A and B are shown apart, each in its own frame.
Chain A
Amino acid sequence: MSTTGVVSPRVATAEGQALTQRKVRIGEVVFRLVLQACLLIAFLFLVWLVSYAVVRGWKRLDSRLWENMPVGRISRIDSAGVQSAITGTLWVILTTAVLCLPTGIFGAIYLEEYADQTKWYNRLLELNIQNLAGVPSIIFGILGLGIIARQFGLGFTVITAAIVLALLVLPIVIIATREAIRAVPQSIRQASYALGATKWQTVSRQVLPAAVPGIATGSILAISRAIGEAAPLIVLGAVTFVTTNPDGLLSKYTTLPIQIFNLIGEAQLGYQEIGAAAIVLLLGIVLLLNSIAIFVRIRFQKRW
């Protein structure tokens, strides 16, 4: 009958439908509508959420938000901003990235390229990482409080927050990097070895460059996750009222999610509006990061 081996499902469906009863066809339509509704409901919530935040925060969505510091006096609400939270977030996230990206990428390289999968300790390592990916973020906060802040004496500072967040998103980086490395075909590696390259040369000059889009996507998503985290930082006592930008890793700090958490709970409407505006700002940042990740994946994705 048809010459090509691949039959598009739509054609098949049309033929299939022609052969089935009428009542099934109505069921088909309903089914499809239900599925579309599922997708639509999820989208509607997203639209509702974003527009609610925008409407609530509209009055404060101006340069005051990033130019000004939080104010401690109700009379000066009009000139309040969240600059300390923005810079605090920048400080914490950049430090987090510096800590977790190399560790995660190199750890993943070990697991994918060097580790003997049959050995029990490597399997334990894998299991451990998969488990950590599912541990609630607040538990990481407890870890930070008990060991890093108190035992190591680092206190409630930028570096403690960065370490805790780095440990939190480390499994994401490792898992994403592993996926990316795994997607590189063996033939690339074999060709490299065939030309006399060492293992590390193969990894660093062939495998990794090929896996960069996947690694980049995973890293950006991990950082995006870290930016939005508030729970572990609450436990770590991210100070609520900070009017200066951090000036070192041992500074006290606040971050956007923490500021939002506090602002929306304040009694004055003015504070709540700033909080909503800060939400819009945070959403904008997260949206930007996610879009970059998606762009990187689509643009640089290799088809093997």
Chain B
Amino acid sequence: MAVHDITTPAAGSSTSLRRGRRHRGERVIEAFLVVAALVSIATTVGIIVALLQPTLRFFQEVSLVEFFTSTSWTPTFADKHYGVLPLVVATILTTLIAIAVAIPLGVGAAIYLAEYASDRTRRAVKPVLEILAGIPTVVYGFFALFALNPILQKYWPGNEKPGFFNVMVAGIVMGIMIVPTIASLSEDAMSAVPRSLREGAYALASSKMQVATRVVFPAAISGIIASFVLGISRALGETMIVTIAAGLSSDKVIWNPIEAAATMTAYIANVASGDIPVDSIDYTTVFAVGSLLFVMTFALNVLSIRLVRKFREVYE
């Protein structure tokens, strides 16, 4: 019998053994697989096309300068202003509050699970965290508006109480929503740190806290930072919680989190489902804001990939 030359096909090379008949069949299957993968390209192209033309129409009417520097966003009022800053600031503010909540809680939970918890605890707790991640955001929004906000209003120190809608309550609840993302990814990153590093530290008489904070945490930093960036990205794009709980005010830039402010996503949700005639300039505002949002999350994503690549330490 002839000895076939067995070459190990690396992923991507197509030099496996084939018979002539199956060769064609394999080609067909491969083409089919490529098409499946190309759906994702079609999606991105579709998004860009759907966003681009109305955005261009928008910028024919409104100057870039006004869009980026004016501090009032009132396209639906009679006195129209097209400065996107109120929406952007509100988005950033809710995101900041969200990660201020999520990072301590998430990293804390992750360190506990990775370094302190027993196997049994970890196996019981991780699924529950994942459940927290699976809760629909409309439910979080309902919770923010009806359960958390009254409590916040009641116990807020000082004379100025948070309003019926406010940025703070939306931000806090968004933070809770993101905790599982950060906790889960950070815990994975920390668990991936080889035991040998820990043991070396213990051998040098380090305490558990020292090992966790000075050995494991820095070693897993790339995964941890990637989790932060992912969390930020989710917070930026979150729609339901802010639509329900943060309000619709966009007439000026608001820095005070106990006031209501519309984020970019809340604005889009409101206008796209509502009253504005499609052909008017006001409708194209949806796409202009959408384009800005898309660009921001894209930039964030590229950053996160870069960061992970830069700091990744390859363990044996």
Contact = CB atoms under 8 A, between A and B. Distances in A.
Interface of A: 6-7, 9, 12-13, 15-17, 19-20, 24-25, 27-28, 31-32, 34-39, 41-43, 45-46, 48-49, 52-53, 56, 102-118, 122, 125, 127-132, 134-143, 145-147, 167, 170-171, 174, 186, 189-190, 193-194, 196-200, 202, 221, 224-225, 227-231, 234-235, 237, 257, 260-261, 264, 275-276, 279, 282-283, 286-287, 289-291, 294, 298
Contacts of B60: none
B78 interface: no
Contacts of B125: 39
The B contact surface, by secondary structure, is helix
Residue of B18, B30, B33 with highest tally of chain A CB at under 10 A: B33
A49 to B, nearest CB: 5
A170 B136 contact: no
Residue of A9, A17, A287 with highest tally of chain B CB at under 10 A: A9
A142 B290 contact: yes
Interface of B: 4, 6, 8-9, 11-14, 16-19, 22, 25-26, 29-30, 32-34, 36-41, 43-44, 46-47, 49-51, 54, 104-109, 111-113, 115-116, 123, 125, 127-132, 134-143, 145-147, 176, 179-180, 183, 195, 198-199, 202-203, 205-209, 211, 230, 233-234, 236-240, 243-244, 265, 268-269, 272-273, 286-287, 290, 293-294, 297-298, 300-302, 305
A12 B200 CA distance: 10
Contact of A45 (B41, B176, B290): B176
Given A106-B32, A134-B301, A147 B49 contact: yes
A128 B209 contact: no
Contacts of A104: 36
Given A36-B112, A42-B109, A224-B134, A115 B142 contact: no
Given A16-B202, A198-B22, A135 B105 contact: no
Given A24-B207, A110-B34, A113-B11, A235 B273 contact: yes
Contacts, number: 316
28 contacts: A6-B199, A12-B202, A24-B209, A42-B129, A53-B139, A102-B36, A106-B36, A118-B12, A125-B37, A130-B305, A131-B297, A135-B297, A136-B236, A136-B297, A138-B269, A143-B47, A147-B49, A190-B8, A198-B16, A198-B26, A200-B29, A221-B134, A230-B240, A257-B138, A260-B139, A275-B142, A283-B136, A289-B134
